[in-house]
Amino acid sequence: MKFIENGVCAAKGFRAAGIHVGVKTHADWKKDVALIVSETPCAAAGVFTRNVVKAAPIHVDIAHLENGVARAVIANSGNANACAPHGEEYAERMCAAAAGVIGCEPGDVLVSSTGVIGQTLNIEAIEGGVRKLYDALDASAEASDAAAHAIMTTDTAKKEAAVETVIGGKTVRIGGIAKGSGMIHPNMGTMLCFLTTDCAISSGMIRAALLETAEVSFNRISVDGDTSTNDSCIVLANGLAGNAEITAKGPDYDAFLEALQALCVRLAREMASDGEGAKHLITCTVSGAESVKSAETIAKSVISSTLMKAAIFGADANWGRALCAMGYSGEAFDPEKVDVSFASAAGEIAVCANGRGLEFDEDKAKRILTEHDVEIRITMGEGGAACTCWGCDITYDYIKINGDYRT
Tens digits of residue pLDDT in 137-158: 999 999 999 999 999 988 888 9
- pLDDT(262) > 90: yes
Tens digits of residue pLDDT in 48-65: 988 899 999 999 999 999
The answer to whether 17 touches 147, Cβ cutoff 8 Å, is yes
User: Taking the model in full, what pTM does it have?
Assistant: 0.93
pLDDT band at 190 (very low <50, low <70, confident <90, very high): low
Q: What is the overall mean pLDDT for the chain?
A: 94
Q: Which of 176-190, 219-233, 336-350 has the lowest mean pLDDT?
A: 176-190
SS3 content of the chain, % helix, strand, coil (to 5): 35, 30, 35
Percent of the chain residues past pLDDT 90, beyond the cut: 85
281-403, what's its fold? Ubiquitin-like (UB roll) (3.10.20)
Tens digits of residue pLDDT in 25-53: 877 789 999 999 999 999 999 999 888 99
Average pLDDT over residues 68-92: 97
Q: What residues act catalytically?
A: 190
Exposure string over 366-400, b if 16+ CB within 10 A, otherwise e: ebbbebeebbbbbbbebeebbbbbbbbbbbeebee
Tens digits of residue pLDDT in 313-366: 999 999 999 999 999 999 999 999 999 999 999 999 999 999 999 999 999 999
- pLDDT(407) > 90: no
- pLDDT(222) > 90: no
The sign one gets for the Cα dihedral 144, 149, 152, 155 is: positive
State residue 156's pLDDT score: 86
The answer to whether 352 touches 338, Cβ cutoff 8 Å, is yes
State residue 274's pLDDT score: 82
| Chain-centroid distance, C-alpha 7 | 14
The CATH architecture one would assign to domain 2-273 is 4-Layer Sandwich (3.60)
pLDDT band at 223 (very low <50, low <70, confident <90, very high): confident
The answer to whether 136 touches 146, Cβ cutoff 8 Å, is yes
CATH 3.60.70.12 residue ranges of the chain are 2-273
CATH 3.10.20.340 residue ranges of the chain are 281-403
- pLDDT(176) > 70: yes
